[in-house]
């Protein structure tokens, strides 16, 4: 799965979200993902990560995506970082 595919899936699943995806090993299965979404407002970190995993579905089975480092922010948090 390419970084662009991951970005597309997340942004489709979370309308209005902005996702940035980087393959940090070049192997196509280890990714760093930063997502800014209003949908994260009031949700704890675990719930936010769950939303990303739902967006990616079966791709996070360990074979397609082996490692996924997530940074999930609300728009206000992103503005302050």
Query: pLDDT tens digits, residue range 60-79?
Result: 887 899 999 999 999 999 99
Pairing of strands 30-36, 18-23: antiparallel
Domain spans of the chain, in order of start: 3-79
Structure confidence by residue, pLDDT tens digits, 32-59 = 999 999 999 999 999 999 999 999 999 9
The CATH architecture annotation of domain 3-79 reads: 2-Layer Sandwich (3.30)
**pLDDT band at residue 9 under the 50/70/90 scheme:** very high
Q: What is the mean pLDDT of residues 1-19?
A: 96
User: 1, 15 in Cβ contact below 8 A?
Assistant: no
């Amino acid at each position: 799965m390419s970084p662009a595919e991951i970005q597309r899936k997340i942004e489709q699943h979370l309308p209005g979200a902005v996702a940035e995806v980087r393959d940090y090993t070049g192997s196509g299965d280890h990714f760093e993902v930063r997502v800014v979404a209003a949908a994260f407002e009031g949700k704890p970190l675990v719930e936010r990560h769950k939303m990303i995993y739902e967006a990616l579905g079966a791709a996070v089975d360990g074979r397609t995506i082996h490692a996924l480092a997530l940074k999930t922010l609300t728009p206000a948090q992103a503005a302050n970082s």
